[in-house]
Amino acid sequence: ELLIEKISDQVEIVGLIKKNKLCDASTNKESFVYPLLYTGYQQERAKTQSSISKYQQLYSIGTGGDYNYADSQILFHKAFDTVAIICGKDSSYTETIRKIPPVELNQTVLINDKKIGRGEKAYIIAEAGLNHNGSLKLAKELVDAAKKTNCDAVKFQAFKKNSRISSKVKAVKYAETITGLEETLDEMFNRLAMSFDDQKELFDYAHKVGIEIFSTPFDFDSVDFLENLDVNIYKIASFDLVNLPLIKYVAKTGKPIILSTGMSTLGQIEEAVGTVKEEGNKNLILLHCNSSYPAAPHEMNL
């Protein structure tokens, strides 16, 4: 009770909330420093966080609050960022009503000789992503697996080292690197990045095998690289739905675009769709996406 009293006083001192408005508080004594690191905990953690994320006005920090161990420095970073999200003048969740260009999108999109649209046969894409772990050999094996299982296409990711994550991204500060159990996002993406030369060899291999191959680009240079490979379609990741310059750059190619909408508001989706329309690109495929990995079956809306 004394600890809760002190924390309540401190919360009021920093101006986060009046002490008399605090609804509830509790303490939890952990028997071990790493109480949550058991085999398979990541899946349970993802499910729990997915359920909690439905409450947009609920914020939680701390080892127990995040359901993941973090040292005091990381917790301080998260605490300050949480306050900025709640109290910052530029962090209010607003949606701007904009006039969408009067461009009618195609109801059927053609990829090579295959149609995608209502009433058409399902188009199956094998999401290889970064599961090649930076290995060209493993990437080719993923292509083989996609072909063997009769998928229509296989998709990877295209980006340059040191370009995927900005140093300004808050989550960059959240990795527990001292114990050697975690790496920063930038370190992870650099480790998994595949050179343009290797990607070209991979695309040539897929064409030889006889399966459609394309990628999710994360920067302009990667778009240019994929254009040189003459890809037939592009994919935009959910977290780049608000990256309007990238969407505009891809839309200018005139190629079909698959756009995921995970974690996005309707206003943000309209903004992205409007950006594609402004470039006169009529070949847009919007995907419903639940950005919880792994997502619980009942949350997938299938």
* Proportion of the chain above pLDDT 70, given as a percent: 78
Query: Half-sphere exposure (CA, 13 Å, Cβ side) for 134?
Result: 9
Beta bridge partners of 286: 259
Q: Per-residue pLDDT tens for 172-202?
A: 565 555 445 567 777 788 888 899 999 999 9
Q: What residue spans of 59-153 are helical by DSSP H?
A: 72-87, 136-148
Highest-pLDDT range among 89-98, 133-142, 171-180, 187-196: 133-142
Q: Record the tokens describing residue 194, joined without a space.
A: 């595949």
What's residue 93's pLDDT?
A: 46
Task: Write the CA distances from 60 to 37, 57, 67, 302, integer angstroms.
Answer: 19, 10, 10, 30
Q: Domains in the chain, ordered, with CATH?
A: 2-87 (no CATH), 108-299 (3.20.20.70)
% of the chain residues with pLDDT over 90: 46
pTM for the model? 0.71
Ramachandran region, residue 13 (left: φ > 0; alpha: ψ -120 to 50; beta: rest): alpha
How confident is the prediction for the chain on average, in pLDDT? Answer: 83
112's tokens: 């090579």
Greatest mean pLDDT among 70-74, 84-88, 143-147, 165-169 lies in 143-147
pLDDT of residue 92: 47
